[in-house]
Amino acid sequence: MKKKYSIYSLVKNSLSDNQNWKKMWRNPEPRKFYDVIIVGGGGHGLGTAYYLAKEHGLKNIAVIEKGWLGGGNTGRNTTIIRSNYLWDESAHLYEHSLKLWENLSAELNYNIMFSQRGVLNLAHNEHDVKEIRRRVSANKLNGIDSEWVDPNQIKKLVPIMNTENCRYPVLGASYQPRAGVARHDAVAWGYAMRADELGVDIIQNCEVKKIRTAKGKVQGVETSKGFIRSNRVGVVASGHTSVLAATAGIKLPLQSKALQALVSEPIKPVINTVVMSNAVHAYVSQSDKGELVIGAGTDGYNSYTQRGGYNIIEDTIRAIVELYPIFGKMKMLRQWGGIVDITPDASPILSKCEVEGLYFNCGWGTGGFKATPGSANVFAHTIAKNKAHKINAPFSVDRFVSGRLVDEHGAAAVAH
Amino acid sequence: MFTIRCPYCGERDQSEFSNGGEAHVARPKDPEQISDREWSEYVFIRANPKGIYYERWVHTHGCKKWFNAVRNTSTDEILKVYKIGENPPPLKEFKNTIKTPSGEPDVGSGNFSVKKP
């Protein structure tokens, strides 16, 4: 690795007033031809390029991004990482990812600030209790650290939570200690830097306008910087995947909606784990800066506006204040929206399609950040070998024809 | 957040309405004759355009009636509202409201490549 970060490099650069840090990646002009083109420079796309170069020995790769790196959903999520999903297929995928997260800072030699502070998924009624206990058991069978905790144990973990005097009292929760959060920008930057060192061309401010195909094979992409030829194109464009797929004549079972998040003014540490609640729809964690990071539900209509309605924020804030009365007088600093691509079964699509050489990594909906390394890793395998990895084989787009869906609406935890 | 002109009640806040997804999706006439793939298209695949979108809304916290709307999904601008049973307005009626090839609005968007420097 060329750029090595250490205590020594920190001291050395601070002596020169931090003026001599090297650029983390080049800013090349696109070549005429690439072996593989990845459309979309978020975490999943940059990670795919990194694993293609590192694990599959491909050299001539481009990542094409219409804006700036990590400016889409990679920089807009609430940074929660966990793997406590119900079905075997999802558990394997998200656990594969969590194992990669645990070693990612070391692998990239770049601090992604992965903090395993645990996640609580709250139960507020008898049905929740049964459903979450079932999920805990399913997790244990898949070797995932998940346990049922009662309200007393929850009180110990999160003393500020109002578990009793509320409209929907807290009856228990699942707890996954290995879950946590990471700094989402650093994930994109870390992958970008190491992919760039392995020879990947990262082309920013270049929009892919059309995927060109002929005789059932992919020919390349038409971009705002001209046509770029390639036999293999991987589309990792989250909310805009449908738009790109349509240019190649492909219909995918995706609906794009705005998902909002917001952060508060920074305060001293009050909550040292991630708390999520499906039933009242409130989830919150505290960032290292001290801001509360809050995720809302999706706005209930298709949109590409990266905004969303105030009523959705009001719903989630109402639930947060009921669960944590101590937050009642806090001020919110920023609010934003990202466009998420939702599938009918709330599970992703990592798949080939009927056009040869065209691959899709999409449908992550409201919870793709946690899967970034795992998704990138198996998607790189799918592109390199033209065959799904055994982990992403169940997430083929053909499942909507065969009917073998992976229904994760319960574990997805965000209303949509 | 925007307002919607309900054809029965007039202009109201969007939060009074619920969205019913794509409009004018016809159930296959002979479901037992069609292939699994065609059935899958009917069940799972819906239009998801960036730009002109024909959709259904219901005035949940109002008259509770269903109606159709034409909306530009890149700006959330509602271009037309019409009642159930009426013919959908032709696409060409709205084409000139879309300024860029991808349907991206020139303001309020992260897409710099379609903006003038």
The reported pLDDT for the residue numbered A5 is 87
The reported pLDDT for the residue numbered B112 is 46
Which residue in B has a C-alpha nearest to residue A313's C-alpha? B1
Residues of chain A with Cβ-Cβ distance to B19 below 8 Å are: 300-302
Is the CB of residue A202 less than 8 Å from the CB of residue A26? yes
Domain boundaries, chain A: 27-78+184-254+345-412, 117-177+255-342
The reported pLDDT for the residue numbered A306 is 84
- Distant-in-sequence, close-in-space partners of A83: CB < 8 Å, separation ≥ 6: A91, A94, A95, A97, A98, A139, A144, A176, A178, A179, A370
pLDDT in tens, A15-28: 999 998 989 999 99
Is the CB of residue A340 less than 8 Å from the CB of residue A257? yes
pLDDT in tens, B23-79: 999 999 999 999 999 999 999 999 999 888 999 999 999 999 999 999 989 888 899
Is the CB of residue A109 less than 8 Å from the CB of residue A4? yes
ipTM of the complex: 0.90
The reported pLDDT for the residue numbered A416 is 58
Each as own residue / partner, the long-range contacts of residues B40-48 (CB below 8 Å, 24 or more positions apart, any chain) are: B40/A400, B40/A401, B41/A251, B43/A344, B43/A400, B44/A253, B44/A344, B44/A400, B45/A251, B45/A252, B45/A253, B45/A400, B46/A253, B46/A255, B46/B21, B46/B22, B47/B22, B48/A242, B48/A243, B48/A252, B48/A254, B48/A255, B48/A256, B48/A302
The reported pLDDT for the residue numbered B117 is 45
Which domains are delineated in chain B? 3-93 (3.30.2270.10)
- The C-alpha angle with vertex B85 and arms to B83 and B87, in degrees rounded to 5, equals 90
All residue ranges of chain A with pLDDT < 50 are: none
Fold of domain A27-78+184-254+345-412:
FAD/NAD(P)-binding domain (3.50.50)
The reported pLDDT for the residue numbered A176 is 97
The reported pLDDT for the residue numbered A365 is 94
pLDDT value at B113 more than 50: no
Give B112's DSSP letter.
G
Q: Which of B1, B45, B102 sits opposite A253 (nearest CB)?
A: B45
Q: Cα–Cα distance between A99 and A371 in angstroms, integer?
A: 10
pLDDT value at B13 more than 80: yes
pLDDT value at B104 more than 80: no
The reported pLDDT for the residue numbered A413 is 63
The reported pLDDT for the residue numbered B108 is 47
CATH code assigned to A117-177+255-342: 3.30.9.10
The reported pLDDT for the residue numbered A211 is 96
Q: A304 and chain B: CB distance < 8 Å anywhere?
A: yes
- Check B46 against A253: CB less than 8 A apart: yes
Backbone region of residue A184 per phi and psi (left: phi > 0; alpha: psi in -120 to 50; beta: other values): alpha
| Mutate: best of A254, A307, A401, partner B, most B CBs <10 A | A401
- Check B46 against A255: CB less than 8 A apart: yes
Q: A33 and chain B: CB distance < 8 Å anywhere?
A: no
The reported pLDDT for the residue numbered B103 is 56
Closest CA relative to residue A73, chosen from A231, A185, A179: A185
